[in-house]
Structure 1
Amino acid sequence: MYGALWRVLPGPWWVRLIILLALIAAVVWALFTWVFPWVDGIVNPIEVTVNQ
């Protein structure tokens, strides 16, 4: 999968690297902006109890 992604990207290796880093940064930003807050609303860690 990573090899196919690398072959699809245009330009020399350094341009591909910059594009991949930008894509990774966009995915991480989207996770922290939308996905993690949505999951936090579903899985509330405050309601966790531990029995001793």
Structure 2
Amino acid sequence: MYLWLFRQLPGPLWLKILLSLAILAGVLVVLDQFLFPWLADVTHLTDATVGQN
């Protein structure tokens, strides 16, 4: 899958690498800004219940 995606990018090798890094950075920003906070609210994994009465 990644090879197919890399082949679809236009330009020479240096541009493909640059575009791949930009796409990866964009995906990480979207995950960090939207998906991970939503997931933390939905799953409540940060609720500490050990030692509380």
- Percent identity of equivalent pairs: 34
The count of aligned residue pairs is 50
RMSD, aligned CA? 1.5
Higher normalized helix content (fraction of residues): 1
| Structure-2-length-normalised TM-score | 0.83
Return 5+ residue gaps in structure 1 as ranges: none
| Structure-1-length-normalised TM-score | 0.85
Q: What is the CA distance between 1:3 and its match in structure 2?
A: 1.2
Return 5+ residue gaps in structure 2 as ranges: none
**C-alpha distance in structure 2 between counterparts of 1:4 and 1:48, whole Å:** 46
